[in-house]
Amino acid sequence: MANGDIDVKIRFRSFLPGSGFDSSGNARQGKTNVRGRIEATYLKGGVALTPQDVGLNTIDDLTLTCEEPFTSPDPAAGWRMAGYSRSARQFYVVQETIEVASGSAVNLTFDAFGDSGHDVELL
């Protein structure tokens, strides 16, 4: 993979009928919980991740977890954490308080919740 390339693999999708609200607070169907794995070659400055990449139209909540948070047997060497910027539509990976180097292979799992990228499932 080239720097910044990602491969998103959806492993779970659950439609949540009758649940949720739109940004104005009106009841709305079509919320979905999607979980999966992201394989990426990290690009310093963040890697683009859109709602469509995770199978949603909008992201209400996104939790990213590094599959291997420790890069050495010594946890004191620091751990990796991932975070998502909704405004930039990018995720960032840091080790301790320093962003990881470009070209670093990172594998993340995700748990995303938001408006479905598919039609509303009828009951």
Whole-number pLDDT of residue 76: 67
Contacting residues for 15 by C-beta, under 8 A, at least 6 apart = 30, 31, 32, 116, 118, 120, 121
Looking at the domain assignment, is residue 121 inside a domain? Answer: no
Looking at the domain assignment, is residue 63 inside a domain? Answer: yes
Whole-number pLDDT of residue 123: 43
pLDDT digits (tens, 9 = 90+) for 15-68: 887 767 777 777 777 788 999 999 999 999 999 999 999 999 889 899 999 998
Looking at the domain assignment, is residue 36 inside a domain? Answer: yes
Read off the CATH number of the domain in which 21 is found: 2.60.40
- The structural domain count of the chain equals 1
Coil, strand or helix at 54: helix
For the record, the structure tokens of 78 come out as 């620091």
Whole-number pLDDT of residue 66: 93
Residue 43 near residue 4, CB atoms below 8 Å: yes
The answer, yes or no, to whether residue 118 has pLDDT greater than 80, is no
Looking at the domain assignment, is residue 64 inside a domain? Answer: yes
Looking at the domain assignment, is residue 1 inside a domain? Answer: no
Whole-number pLDDT of residue 3: 54
Looking at the domain assignment, is residue 19 inside a domain? Answer: yes
Range of the domain at 10: 6-116
Whole-number pLDDT of residue 122: 47
pLDDT digits (tens, 9 = 90+) for 57-112: 889 899 999 998 877 777 667 788 999 999 999 999 998 778 888 998 899 999 99
Looking at the domain assignment, is residue 71 inside a domain? Answer: yes
